[in-house]
């Protein structure tokens, strides 16, 4: 049974290699996670175990895909930055997208028990994903600033919203109260009514999670004189820091270094 007469169908497969010397963002986003988190009784507005589970999957991505240089996560979304010169699967978009989202999903289901030992998975968690190219590293900084600014806006709103709802307001009332309020008014609302200082909430909630590699020196053993023998190695760091300002990037110039 020769297969050749059907092989012409392969010609319909498009060449989807992403353009050279562009930074590549793969953003993953929980699908129907409003329902998924409600089914699994996630803490609102932020479930620490849920976020740590997301971070564990993102960290696993760094181990599996060495060309990822930075990742930023907030809520049920995670953005992975691939270096501009990656040749992973010839930069084919469908490979980058499908392997990223599939690996992340696999890690999410497999790591679940570790972060929620008391909860059974009742429904299938799954994610959508997209790929975006940026020709310049300063655009990647703007991209990440966009996500972190969004994190701030959403988290501040959600913190207020859930405090109002937990203390007796209906969903509609809470929305009405918050409509059109500014940053300062929201902070005041939290402080005046609930004695919450927004800036003292956990950094992971306010800043999201940033993952990157850092060279660290570690003592591997002591020599005969009891002096430490150090070795430099690469470590994956999960931080909750400001990435909108220049400070972080000045401290880590290698992450987004251009050719």
CB of 166 to a copy of itself, least distance (A): 25
Element (H, E) at 187: helix 183-194
Q: How far is the CB of 255 from a copy of itself (least distance, A)?
A: 18
Instruction: List the alpha helices (DSSP H) in 71-182.
Output: 93-115, 137-166, 171-178
- Altogether, the residues listed in the chain come to a count of 259
Evaluate whether 139 touches 166 at the Cβ level (below 8 Å): no
Is residue 22 a contact residue for a copy of itself (CB under 8 A)?
A: yes
| CB of 249 closer than 8 Å to CB of 137 | no
In whole angstroms, how close is the CB of 120 to a copy of itself at the nearest point?
A: 11
Is 85 among the residues that bind a copy of itself (CB under 8 A)? no
Nearer to a copy of itself, 97 or 189 (CB): 97
Residue 50 parent element (H or E) = helix 48-64
User: Is 121 an interacting residue with respect to a copy of itself (CB under 8 A)?
Assistant: yes
Instruction: Report the nearest approach of a copy of itself to the CB of residue 132 (Å).
Output: 5
Query: What is the rounded distance in angstroms from the CA atom of residue 96 to the CA atom of residue 82?
Result: 9
Is 191 near a copy of itself (CB under 8 A)? no
User: How many CA within 13 A on the CB side of residue 218?
Assistant: 7
Taking CA atoms, 181 is separated from 113, 120, 125, 197, 220, in Å, by 40, 39, 34, 17, 54
State yes or no: residue 187 binds a copy of itself (CB under 8 A): no
By CB under 8 A, is residue 75 in contact with a copy of itself?
no
Report if residue 186 touches a copy of itself, rule: CB under 8 A: no
Site for a copy of itself contains 150 (CB under 8 A): yes
Least Cα distance to 239 among 13, 66, 71 occurs for 71
Q: Does residue 75 have a known ligand-binding role?
A: yes
How near is the Cβ of 231 to a copy of itself at its closest, in Å? 28
CA 52 centroid distance within chain: 11
Chain positions contacting a copy of itself, by CB under 8 A: 1-3, 6-15, 19-22, 28, 31, 60, 94-95, 97-99, 101-110, 121, 124-136, 139, 142-143, 145-146, 149-150, 152-153, 183, 258-259
Binding-site residues for GTP:
75-76
């Amino acid at each position: 049974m020769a297969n050749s007469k059907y092989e012409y169908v392969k010609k319909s497969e498009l060449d989807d290699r992403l353009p050279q010397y562009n930074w590549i963002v793969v953003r993953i986003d929980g699908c129907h996670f409003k329902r998924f988190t409600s089914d699994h009784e996630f803490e609102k507005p932020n479930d620490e175990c849920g976020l740590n589970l997301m971070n564990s999957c993102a960290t696993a991505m760094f181990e599996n895909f060495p060309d990822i240089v930075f990742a930023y996560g907030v809520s049920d979304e995670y953005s992975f930055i691939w270096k501009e010169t990656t040749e992973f699967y010839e930069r084919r978009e469908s490979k980058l997208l499908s392997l990223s989202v599939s690996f992340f999903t696999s890690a999410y289901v497999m790591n679940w028990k570790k972060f929620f030992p008391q909860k059974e998975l009742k429904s299938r968690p799954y994610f959508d994903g997209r790929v975006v190219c940026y020709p310049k590293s300063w655009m990647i900084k703007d991209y990440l600033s966009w996500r972190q600014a969004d994190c701030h806006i959403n988290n501040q709103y959600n913190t207020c919203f859930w405090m109002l709802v937990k203390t007796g307001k209906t969903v509609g009332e809470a929305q009405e109260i918050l409509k059109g309020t500014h940053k300062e008014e929201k902070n005041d609302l939290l402080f005046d009514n609930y004695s919450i200082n927004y800036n003292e909430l956990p950094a992971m909630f306010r800043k999201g999670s940033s993952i990157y590699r850092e060279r660290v020196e570690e003592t591997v053993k002591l020599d005969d004189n009891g002096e430490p023998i150090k070795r430099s190695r690469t470590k994956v760091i999960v931080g909750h820091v400001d990435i909108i300002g220049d400070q972080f990037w000045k401290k880590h110039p290698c992450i987004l270094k251009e050719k």
